[in-house]
Amino acid sequence: MKKFLLASSMLIASAFGAEAQTINILMESVPDTRYVQEMLPEFKEKTGIDVQLEVVNYAEMHTKLVPQLVAPEGSYDVVIVDFYWVGEFTKAGWLQPLDERIKADNFPVDNYIPSIMELTGRVDGTTLMLPFYNYAMGLTYRKDLLEDLKHQEAFKAKYGRELKVPTEWPEYLDQVKYFSEDAGIEGFKGVVNQGQRPDPISMEWSNYLFANGGRYYDPETWQPTLATPEGIAALTQYRDNIQKYGPIGAANFSFDDAFNVAAQGKAYSYLTFNMFRPVYDDPASSQVVGKMEIAPVPGGGLNGSWGWAIPKSSPDPDAAWEFIKFIESPEIAKKRALLGGAATQKQIYEDPELIEKYSYYPQLGELLAYAQNFPVFTYTPAFVDVLGRELSLAVTDGKDPKEALEQVDKEFAELLRKDGKLQ
Amino acid sequence: MTEIRLANVTKTYAGGQTAVDAVDLTIHDGEFFVLLGPSGCGKSTTLRMIAGLEPISSGDLFIGERRMNEVDPKDRDLAFVFQNYALFPHLTVKGNLTFGMKLRGVPGPEQERRLAEVTVMLGLAPYLDRKPGQLSGGQRQRVALGRALLRDPVAFLLDEPLSNLDAKLRAQMRTELVKLHRRVGRTIIHVTHDQIEAMTMADRICIMHDGKVAQVGAPMEVYRNPADTFVATFTGSPPMNLVQGRLENGAVHFAEATLPLDARTGAGEVTVGFRPEDLSLAALPNRLPIQASVVAVETLGADAILVASLAGGQEIGMRVAADTQLEPGSPVSVHLDPNRLRLFDRQTGKAIARMA
Amino acid sequence: MICVGAATFAAAAPTLRAGPPAVDGQPSPQPEDKLFMTAAIAQRDRWFGFAMTLPGLFALVLVVLFPILFTLWTSTSDFTLLKPSNDAFVGLSHYTQAFATPEFRHALSVTLAFVVAVVILEFLVGFAVALALDKVEHGKAVYYLILLFPLLMNPIVVGLIWKMFLHPTLGIVNYVLSLVGIPPVDWLGVPDNAFWTVVAVDIWHQVSFMIVLLLAGLASLPKEPYEAARLEGAGTIRCFFWITLPLMRPVIVVTLLIRLIFAVKTYDIIYIMTRGGPGQATELVSYYIYRRAFVGLDVSQASAMAVILLLAVLALTAWLHRYMRSLAQ
Residue C22 has pLDDT above 50, yes or no: no
Q: φ and ψ at B262, to 5 degrees? A: -65, -60
Q: What is the mean pLDDT of residues B189-202?
A: 92
Task: Name which residue leads in pLDDT, C144 or C328.
Answer: C144
CATH number of C2-13+102-328: 1.10.3720.10
Residue C121 has pLDDT above 70, yes or no: yes
Across chain C, mean pLDDT equals: 82
Across chain A, mean pLDDT equals: 90
Least confident of A31-35, C296-300, C302-306: C296-300
Q: What is the mean pLDDT of residues B184-189?
A: 92
Q: What is the mean pLDDT of residues C41-59?
A: 82
Q: φ and ψ at B325, to 5 degrees? A: -120, 115
Question: Does residue C189 sit at the A interface (CB-CB below 8 Å)?
Answer: yes
| Domain ranges for chain C | 2-13+102-328
CB pair distance less than 8 Å for A252 and C189? yes
Give the pLDDT of residue A285: 86
What are the chain C neighbours of A385 within 8 Å (beta carbons)? 291, 295-296
Please name every residue paired with A123 in a beta bridge, in sequence order, or none if there are none. Answer: A126
d(CA C114, CA C109): 9
Give the pLDDT of residue C175: 92
d(CA B226, CA B273): 10
Give the pLDDT of residue C31: 47
Task: Name which residue leads in pLDDT, A327 or B90.
Answer: A327
CB pair distance less than 8 Å for B89 and C243? no
What are the chain C neighbours of B135 within 8 Å (beta carbons)? 21-22
Spell out the domains of chain B, with CATH numbers in brackets: 4-228 (3.40.50.300), 241-352 (2.40.50.140)
CA torsion, ordered B262, B263, B266, B269, to nearest 10 deg: -30
pLDDT range class, residue B1, cuts 50, 70, 90: low
- Neighbours of B (≥3 Cβ pairs closer than 8 A)? C
Give the pLDDT of residue C48: 83
Least confident of A130-134, A139-143, A319-323, B164-168: B164-168
Smallest Cα distance from C67 to chain A, Å = 18
Give the pLDDT of residue C44: 79
Residue C19 has pLDDT above 50, yes or no: no
Question: Does residue C169 sit at the B interface (CB-CB below 8 Å)?
Answer: no
User: Searching chain C, which residue's CA lies closest to the CA of residue B141?
Assistant: C24
Q: What share of chain A in percent tops pLDDT 70? A: 95
pLDDT digits (tens, 9 = 90+) for A381-402: 899 999 999 999 999 988 999 9
pLDDT digits (tens, 9 = 90+) for A325-350: 999 999 999 999 999 889 999 999 99
Give the pLDDT of residue C34: 57
| Domain ranges for chain A | 2-128+305-367, 137-295
Residue A20 has pLDDT above 90, yes or no: no
Give the pLDDT of residue A11: 45
Pair type for strands B279-280 and B331-336: antiparallel
pLDDT range class, residue C57, cuts 50, 70, 90: confident
pLDDT digits (tens, 9 = 90+) for A182-221: 888 888 999 999 999 988 999 999 999 999 999 999 989 9
Q: What is the mean pLDDT of residues A299-325?
A: 93
C contact residues 228-287, partner B, Cβ 8 Å cutoff: 228-234, 238, 242-243, 246-247, 249
CB pair distance less than 8 Å for A264 and C190? no
CB pair distance less than 8 Å for C18 and B133? yes
Q: How far is CA A6 from the centre of its chain?
A: 26
Residue A228 has pLDDT above 70, yes or no: yes
pLDDT digits (tens, 9 = 90+) for B17-55: 899 999 999 999 999 999 999 988 999 999 999 999 999
Of C15, C228, C233, the CB nearest to B104: C233
Determine the Cα angle at A261 with ends A259 and A267, to 5°. 105
Smallest Cα distance from C17 to chain B, Å = 9
Give the pLDDT of residue B73: 87
Q: What is the mean pLDDT of residues A129-145?
A: 94
* SS3 annotation, chain C: CHHHHHHHHHHHHHHHHHCCCCCCCCCCCCCHHHHHHHHHHHHHHHHHHHHHHHHHHHHHHHHHHHHHHHHHHHHCECCCCCCCCCCCECCCHHHHHHHHCHHHHHHHHHHHHHHHHHHHHHHHHHHHHHHHHHHCCCCHHHHHHHHHHHHHCCHHHHHHHHHHHCCCCCCHHHHHHHHCCCCCCCCCCCHHHHHHHHHHHHHHHHHHHHHHHHHHHHHCCCCHHHHHHHHHCCCHHHHHHHHHHHHHHHHHHHHHHHHHHHHHCCCHHHHHHCCCCCCCCCCCHHHHHHHHHHCCCCHHHHHHHHHHHHHHHHHHHHHHHHHHHHHHC
Residue C304 has pLDDT above 80, yes or no: yes
- Residue C202 CB-density burial (10 A; 0-12 exposed, 13-18 middle, 19+ buried): buried
Give the pLDDT of residue C18: 36
Residue C123 has pLDDT above 90, yes or no: yes
Q: Are B319 and B303 in contact (CB under 8 A)?
A: yes
DSSP-based three-state secondary structure for B203: coil
Smallest Cα distance from A48 to chain C, Å = 37
Question: Does residue B6 sit at the C interface (CB-CB below 8 Å)?
Answer: no
Q: Do domains A2-128+305-367 and A137-295 have the same CATH topology?
A: yes
Residue C20 has pLDDT above 50, yes or no: no
**CATH 3.40.190.10 matches A2-128+305-367:** yes
Per-position DSSP letters for A143-168, written without gaps between them: HHHHT-HHHHHHHHHHHSS--SS--S
* Pick among B99, B127, B140, B162 to test the C interface (most C CBs inside 10 A): B99
pLDDT digits (tens, 9 = 90+) for B101-157: 888 888 989 999 999 988 988 888 889 999 888 888 888 888 998 988 888 888 999
What are the chain C neighbours of A196 within 8 Å (beta carbons)? 274-275, 277-278
pLDDT range class, residue C146, cuts 50, 70, 90: confident
Residue A12 has pLDDT above 80, yes or no: no
Question: Which residues, in sequence order, are CB contacts of C52 under 8 Å at separation 6+?
Answer: none
Give the pLDDT of residue C37: 61
Q: Are A90 and A128 in contact (CB under 8 A)?
A: yes
pLDDT digits (tens, 9 = 90+) for B312-335: 888 999 999 988 888 898 999 999
Residue A363 has pLDDT above 80, yes or no: yes
Across chain B, mean pLDDT equals: 89
Q: What is the mean pLDDT of residues C57-64?
A: 85
Least confident of A224-238, B152-166, C82-96, C234-248: C82-96
Give the pLDDT of residue C86: 75
- Residue B141 CB-density burial (10 A; 0-12 exposed, 13-18 middle, 19+ buried): buried
Smallest Cα distance from A62 to chain C, Å = 9
Q: What is the mean pLDDT of residues A75-90?
A: 91
What are the chain C neighbours of A201 within 8 Å (beta carbons)? 277
Of A252, A381, A384, the CB nearest to C277: A252
d(CA C159, CA C194): 13
Cα dist from B237 to B209, B240, B300, whole Å: 18, 8, 12
Q: Which fold has domain A137-295?
A: D-Maltodextrin-Binding Protein; domain 2 (3.40.190)
* Residue B82 per-residue DSSP state: -
Residue C176 has pLDDT above 90, yes or no: yes
